Chains A and B, each alone.
Chain A
Amino acid sequence: MTVLATSVAPGRDLVMDRLMRIGRPFGIAIGYLWISLIYIPIVWLAVMSVSSRPLTGVPYPLSLEWYDALFSGDMRWSGPLERSLIIGLIVSALCMVAATLVGRVLPLLRRRGGLLAAYLAPLFVPGLVTGVSMFMFYRAFVGVKLGDWSLVLAHFVWAFPFALLAMLVVSSRFDTRMNEAASDLGATDWQRFWQIEVPLLRPGIIASGFFGFLLSFNELPLSIYMRAGQMTLPLHLWSESTAHQSSIPLIYGMSTLVTIASILIVVLALRLLFFRDAER
C-alpha cells in the first residue's frame, strides 16, 4: 500500500488518535441510545395498552379493560385481521416459490448482476412512489378494477426482494458439486431438485416465507393506493388512529399483540437462517 509510505504530520495524527480513543465509548453509547429510540415507543405502547388512561401517556392506574373491550365489544378489527392473514399467507407462499426458483439459479448465471438489480429495484424507489405508479398503471392506464389481487401484487413486489436476499444467503453458499454427484448417481432432474436442493435450501425457503408473511402483514404505504376499499389490519389501525381519537386505546392493545407476534416470528426466522449450522 503506497499510502502508508507517505509521511504524515505526526502532531495532527496524535491529536486525532487521542480523539478516537476518547470518542469510542461515546460512539457506542450513542449507537445504543439510537437503538433505544426504536424500542422505547414499542415498550411504552405495551405499557399504555394496560393503562386505564392511555391518552395521558402516564401508565397508572393499570387496567386490562382495553383488551376486554377488544375481544368483547368493538370487533371491527376481525375482518381486516382475517384479510391480512390470508393475503400474508398467499404472499408468503409466492415468496417461497419465487425466491427458491430464482435464488437457486441466480448465483450460477453469467448476467446475475443485472438480474439481481432488476429484482431489487423496488428497494431503490420509495414505497409511496411504487404504490402511486402501480395504481396509475393498473387502474387508470390498463383500466382493471383493483381488489385483493392488487394487494397481493403490491405486497409481493415489496416482499420479494427481501425474500430473495434471504434465499441468496443460503443458495450462494450452496455446493454445486452436490448436484453433480446426484446426476452422476443417476438422479433425474426432479429427484435432484426435490431430494437434494430443496432440503439443503430449506432454511432459506422457510426464512423467505416468514419474511414474506411479515412484510405483507405489516405493509402500509403500498396498500393505501393498491386497494379498492378493502381494509387490511395496518390500514384499519392507520385510519382509526388518524380519524378517531376514541378508538386509540383499542389500537394500542391490538398493535401490542401484533408487535409481540411479529417479534417472535422474526427471531424464529433469524434462528433458522443464521444459527442452524452452530447447533449441529
Chain B
Amino acid sequence: MNPLPRLRQLAAGGGFIAPFTIVWVLGVLVPVLGIVVFSFFRSRGVTFIFEPTLAAYESTFSHAGWQVLLRSARITATVTLIELVVAYPFALWLAKSARSPLLKLATFTALTVPFFLSPTARTLVWRVILGRNGLINTVLLEIGIIDEPLDWLLFSETAVHFGFLGPYFPSMVWPIFLSITLIDDELIEASRDLGGGRFHTFWHVILPLSLPGIVAGMIFTFVPMMGDTVVPQTVGGGAVLMLSSEINSLFSVMNYPVAAAVSTFALLFVVLFQFVLWLVLQRSGGIAHVFESLRR
C-alpha cells in the first residue's frame, strides 16, 4: 500500500493538529507537571520508589536549598524591575516618537539577534573584563583612579545583577513596544485635543492600554532569568549560588527527589508571579477591555 496519499491528506487537511497536540501534551506538558509528583517520592539510583514521603521537602528546608531559592527569586525580581523601568521609556519612544526608519531597523535587529546567540559565548568574556586582573581594573590602576583592584566587580551579587541587565533587556522591550504600537494614535491625539498634558495622556491613556505588554514583558524576563545557567555561574562564580548551581549539585549526587522539590518551588514562584500579574491585568479590565477599546 502506498502511504503517500494518506500523508498528503493528513498534511493538506487539518488532520495533523489533533495527533500533534496529543503527543505534545503527553510528551511535554505532562512530564513538566510530573516534577511536582516526583518531589513526593524517594529515589534509588535513577529509579523512583513510589511511596509517598515529604523527605525531599524536609531536606529542602533544612539545608541551603531554601536560601538559594529565595536568593534566586530576589535577584531575579530586582533585575526584572530594573529592566521594566529602563525598558518602558525606551519602548515608548521607539513605538511612538522614533522617526528615522534606519535607526528603527537597526534597533529592532539589535533587539532580536541576542535571542539566538550562544549564552556562553556572550557572557564568558565578562570574566576578563571585570576580573581582578582584568580590563577595567587594569585601566583604572593605570589612570590612577584606584590603588587596589576592585574585588566586587566579579564574583559578587552586584556582578550577577549587572550580568543579567543586557541579556534580559530585549525580552522586556519587545512586549511593551508591541502593546504601545497597538495603541491608536487617534486616542492619544484625542486626549491632547481635550487638553490633556503630556503626563496626563501618558497616565490615563498610554499606561493603562500598555499594561498587557508590561505584564508579558515581566513574565518573559522573570521566567527565563529564574532558570539561567550561564550568567550566575560565569560572573557570580561560587560566591553567588543560584537555582542552576543548586540543581546541578543535586544532580551530581543523584538526589533527584530534592532536585524535584527545589524545581517545584521554582515552578511555584514562577506560577505565583504570573498569577499576580494576571490578577493585576484583570483588575484593570483585562485584555478584553484593551481589545474593545482598540476596536472602537
Contacts and interface: CB of A to CB of B under 8 A. Distances in A.
Interface of A: 1, 3-4, 8, 13-14, 16-17, 19-21, 23-24, 27-28, 30-31, 34-42, 44-45, 48, 54-58, 98, 101-102, 105-106, 109, 115, 118-119, 121-130, 132-134, 136-141, 143, 153, 157, 162, 189-190, 192-194, 211, 214-215, 218, 220-221, 224-225, 234, 237-238, 241-242, 248, 251-252, 255-256, 258-259, 262-263, 265-267, 270
Best-buried of B187, B194, B263 by chain A (most CB within 10 Å): B263
Given A42-B121, A237-B121, A129 B267 contact: yes
Interface string B185-213: 00100110011111110111100000000
Query: What's the dominant secondary structure at chain A's contact region?
Result: helix
Given A190-B8, A221-B227, A136 B117 contact: no
B270 A56 contact: no
A62 to B, nearest CB: 15
Interface of B: 8-9, 11-14, 16-17, 20-21, 24-25, 27-35, 38, 43, 46-48, 86-87, 89-90, 92-94, 97, 107, 109-126, 128-129, 131, 133-136, 138, 165-167, 169-170, 173, 187, 190-191, 194-200, 202-205, 219-220, 223-224, 226-230, 233-234, 243-244, 247-248, 251, 256, 259-260, 263, 266-267, 270, 274
Contact of B20 (A56, A98, A140): A98
Nearest to A218: B118
B227 A4 contact: no
Nearest to B190: A1
Contacts of B196: 4
Q: Which of A31, A126, A192 has the most CB of B within 10 A?
A: A126
A40 B124 CA distance: 12
B31 A138 contact: yes
A140 B256 contact: yes
A102 B20 contact: yes
Nearest to B259: A132
Interface of B is mostly: helix
A190 B9 contact: yes
B90 A190 contact: no
Nearest to B118: A218
B94 to A, nearest CB: 8
A259 B122 contact: yes
Contact of B204 (A3, A19, A35, A126): A3
A98 B10 CA distance: 12
Contacts of A40: 129, 166
Contact of B87 (A17, A31, A192): A31
Given A35-B110, A127-B224, A129-B263, A56 B243 contact: no
Given A17-B198, A128-B247, A255 B120 contact: yes
Nearest to B267: A129
Contact of B11 (A101, A137, A262): A101
Contacts of A118: 21, 24-25, 29
A30 B48 contact: no
Given A118-B21, A193-B11, A259-B122, A267 B113 contact: yes
A121 B280 CA distance: 21
B233 A242 contact: yes
Nearest to A5: B194
A266 B113 CA distance: 6
Given A126-B223, A141-B48, A220 B38 contact: no
A34 B9 CA distance: 50
Contacts of A35: 107, 110-111, 166, 169
